Amino acid sequence: MLSRVLPSFTSTSIRCAVGYSSAAGDVSIRSMDVNQAGNSNHPSKVSKSPFAEVPQAWVSSFDAVEERKLGIIDLHPDIFRVSPRLDILHRNLTWQSVYRNVQLTKQLTRAEMPGGGPIILTFYLIALQKFLCRKPWPQKKTGRAHVGSIRSPQFIHGGFANGVRGPRTWFYILPDSVRLKGLCVALTLKHAQDCLHIVDRLDQLPADANGQFLHDLADHRNWGYSVLFVNDTDEVFFQIGGGLAAAIEQIPSFTAMPVYGLNCFSLMKYESVVFSRSALALLEERLLKQFNRAGPLNKKCRYADFKERILNEGEGEDHPDQPPVV
């Protein structure tokens, strides 16, 4: 995988050349192919690192099989140009694979097995008393080992001495920082391998679009066998009488999900990931908000999370009809 990822981090003719000034955060972008796309008014993305390259991606149409380039947009380097930490990605994939597993097996001990020893008799078990509560053979004069119950662990159909005592779960909480970092690593790998595609809108499919139309569209654009569509909301997936959801249902290897359900396992499972432009903007906004928010235990910086709410507390104090309650 690294052989496919690391060469993609070098500057190419499609990507942009970045020049940095002495002022912190001052980035000037010179795009090579923006004039061909006809859209060069995208705002610059500023990274924390002054050496990070600002990645770019094409925005394509989604209303026909033939692909039309609508423009180039900038991607944030802190999300789509992070170090390919495969160890962090492995931690996320392992966590998603095991945290839902529950083992319900429970092997009974000799005390929990029915029969073979003293039990509390009921009306229905009185007739079976001599079979359920008997010693298998006398204590002495047989030459055999002393046994008090046929439910001992050494017997077939007996209890278990150190058996599995379910229910057992493998759930654990992965730190938020590891989850966010793993998601950025997965997005970086997809973009570096040219498996991340951006379309204008996912609801632009024709009214008569079916699974064959979507299959031809993916085949014409080399999206691969399995494709994951990501939208900013889930409304486009529940359109009645056609649309993207009806077309995806006819192709088992195609799946759609809203941006709030995006995870590392889904990004690695599918060969290509297709974002709508609004979904990409919402994803960057939420990830950057999580990266820059004050920690819950850092009380010195907690004011940053509630700054807007605190500044708006004084609104309406001079209202003539509804004075503040003291």
Going from the N-terminus, what domains does the chain have, and what CATH number goes with each?
A: 2-96+173-294+302-307 (3.40.1370.10), 104-169 (no CATH)
Question: 3-state DSSP call for residue 186?
Answer: helix
Instruction: Between 274 and 298, name the one with better pLDDT.
Output: 274
- Of 22, 26, 27, 36, nearest to 74 by C-alpha is 27
In this model, does residue 88 exceed pLDDT 90?
yes
In this model, does residue 2 exceed pLDDT 50?
no
Nearest-angstrom CA–CA distance, 241 and 185: 38
How far CA 247 is from CA of 117, 180, 199, in Å, comes to 64, 32, 17
Q: What is the pLDDT of residue 319?
A: 62
- Of 67, 57, 313, 314, nearest to 187 by C-alpha is 57
Give Cα 139 to chain centroid, integer Å: 63
Mean predicted confidence (pLDDT) in 147-151: 87
DSSP letter for each residue of 22-34: SSTT-EEEEESSH
Q: What is the pLDDT of residue 208?
A: 81
CB 297 within 8 A of CB 305: no
Tens-place pLDDT, residues 281-299: 999 999 998 888 766 555 5
CB 82 within 8 A of CB 49: no
Q: CB count, 10 Å around CB of 227?
A: 24
The tokens describing 320, both together, are 């003539």
Q: What is the pLDDT of residue 135?
A: 83
In this model, does residue 197 exceed pLDDT 60?
yes
CB 159 within 8 A of CB 110: yes
Q: To the nearest whole percent, how much of the chain has pLDDT over 70?
A: 67
Nearest-angstrom CA–CA distance, 83 and 299: 30
Question: 3-state DSSP call for residue 273?
Answer: strand
Instruction: Between 133 and 142, name the one with better pLDDT.
Output: 142
Q: What is the pLDDT of residue 150?
A: 87
In this model, does residue 9 exceed pLDDT 80?
no
97 Cβ contact list (under 8 Å, min separation 6): 265
